[in-house]
Structures are given as structure tokens and as C-alpha cells.
Structure 1
Amino acid sequence: MSAYSSTKVGREKSDRTKRKPTNPTFEKPILELSEEAQLRSQAREVAEQTSDIRPDVEQLIAEIQKKLKDGSYLEEISGQAIVESIKAALKEESETLKSESFPSDQLSLDP
């Protein structure tokens, strides 16, 4: 056996290539990463792909803080404006119905 030969004498190269796996998934990576390191790497990739929402969030926080200072935010949350608009719509509807109602003599069933 020669120290410089990597194949046995009498074997062809085609036999050697048949033994090697052709699928690259069978090859071991040079450096094995721990599961934690893999998760960190995936998290970094996802973070790089997503857009930065920080400016939008800061703007919303500023708007909420402004509304809290002037008191309009509590009105929005409590729904006072909505309740008032519903009451106004109901009042308007009832007035419309009253104006369109028939006189009492037309409602009687007597001929």
C-alpha cells in the first residue's frame, strides 16, 4: 500500500464515485450550530425582512397622549359621542314618524 494513494489498487474511479453520496444533504456542515444559535439567526433574518413599525407606533402614542391631555380620548373610549349621535338619530326618526302619522279618525275601524 502506498502512502500517496487514496484508492486501492485495481479499483476504478467509477466504483469510488458510486459509493459517494450525491445528495448534498448527507454532507455534514463544517460547523454545527446549536439550536439556540439557529433560532437567533432565523430571528435576525425575519427582523431584517420586516419593515420598521417604530415610527408609526411612536406617532400613535403621541396622538393618544395628546388626546389624553385634552380629554377627548376618554370621550372616544366611553362612546359618549356615539351615544349622543344615536340619541339624536332616534329623536329625529321619532319626529319624522310623528309628522307622517295619520289622524286618529283614519285609524279607527268603524265605517
Structure 2
Amino acid sequence: MIRHCVFVRFRPDIPSAVRATIFGDIASVAERMPGLVAAHVGANVSPEHGMDKGFSEGFILDFLDAGARDAYLIDPEHQRIGARLVAAADSGADGIFVYDLQIS
């Protein structure tokens, strides 16, 4: 299994409703992608204040394998949502942190 973690540092002028729409769109893509078995979106709730380095919201997607993850990455709808996410992030792509884990 591949756990695809994406953390976002949104621009301060991006309203919570826009953030929620982006995350909702990510969840809707997850519902139709083969091999995408779980989607979790939301705000960081860690009590370790300051450790998030401003990446206060994000999402985690679990894929059966790297092939399913790779199919998601090239999906046209994913790419459109990704472009909106980059546009809403502080400093564009620099405001997004992606980390994938191989889960046994």
C-alpha cells in the first residue's frame, strides 16, 4: 500500500469555503479511482504547536499499490484540482509538501 500525504500552507486570503471545496473535490476523485482505498482530509489537530511549519491542512490518500497512485497522479481531474490547490497555496508549489510512504 502507498500512503500519499499532502500538506498545504494556504494563502491567508483563501476562505475556508474555498479550501473545503478543494478538499471535497479531492474526496470525490477518490470515490471513482480504482485502487484508491481511503481518503482523509482536514486540518492539522496536533498539539505540537509550531511543528507544522504552517502546513495547517492537508489530505492523505491510501492506494493499493504504486500503480494505482501513479494512475491518480496523471488523472485529468486530479491535475485540475492540483492546479487549483497550487494557486491557493502560499508561494504556489512551495506551499505544498508531498510525502509518500510504502506501507507493508
TM-score using structure 1 length: 0.21
Which protein has the larger Cα radius of gyration, Structure 1 or Structure 2?
A: 1
Of Structure 1 and Structure 2, which has the larger fraction of its residues in helix? 1
| TM-score normalised to structure 2 length | 0.22
